[in-house]
Amino acid sequence: MLNASEIADRLGAVRERIAAAAHRAARAPDGVRLVLASKTQPPAAVIAAYAAGGRDFGENYVQEALTKQAAVGARAGLRWHLIGHLQSNKAKAAAGAFDLIETLDSTHLAQALARAQAQPRVQVLIEVNLGAEASKSGVAPARVEALIAAAREQVDILGLMAIPPVGNTPEDSRLYFARLRTLRDELARNTGLSLSELSMGMTEDFEVAVEEGATIVRVGRAIFGERIA
């Protein structure tokens, strides 16, 4: 694990890169939320990042998140995002543990989340599988509108999330980010929902994602260093 000073320095550098990318796109930097992807990182790394100003943390697995949350404790402004695939049998635990679930991909999961927490409704993003990759979860672009129609009374759908195909260069990923933004705009018109959130961009390509309209970027290695096995 990096020490607290290193994490703080790296977090500051990422924020500067986000701000520069936002300015290039004529956007306000505060319109981009930085989610620190803390998968496999120890609670001490989360605490160090929080002390340096990080407030949003993303976890891939429910049980790992619950253990980490217990160790970190309640802190003002601390928000947790689920950024990994969620199985329906973990919906009850996830509904109470995360402020935003970024990986809704089925009506069945929306129903499970609704049963777990009726009020306030769980806030979610719909994960879109833009590259039609069999190895990834997510909904095909053509099926997102149907999922919104089926799930909008079950959960609060705030927007979309996507991960471009692995191995892309940042400029390759730009095409996918633009597609997600275009899809969001079309769905907002068709459904009447604002769908204001676009979660896209990670360590390799978050600057391009910001230029293409990301409101949430999920960055881990650039802040915490390599994942701890």
* Residue range 86-112, pLDDT digits in tens: 999 999 999 999 999 999 999 999 999
Q: Is residue 229 part of a domain?
A: no
Q: Give residue 226's pLDDT.
A: 82
Determine, yes or no, domain membership for 145.
Answer: yes
* Residue range of the domain that includes 160: 4-224
29-50 pLDDT per residue, tens:
999 999 999 999 999 999 999 9
In one-letter notation, the amino acid at residue 87 is: Q
13, part of any domain: yes
Give the span between the Cα atoms of 104 and 123, in whole angstroms.
10
Q: How many domains does the chain have?
A: 1
Q: What is the distance between the alpha carbons of residues 207 and 214, in angstroms, rounded to a whole number?
A: 9
Domain presence at residue 80: yes
State how far the Cα of 113 lies from the Cα of 214, in Å rounded to an integer.
Answer: 25
CATH number, domain with residue 51:
3.20.20.10
9 located within any domain: yes
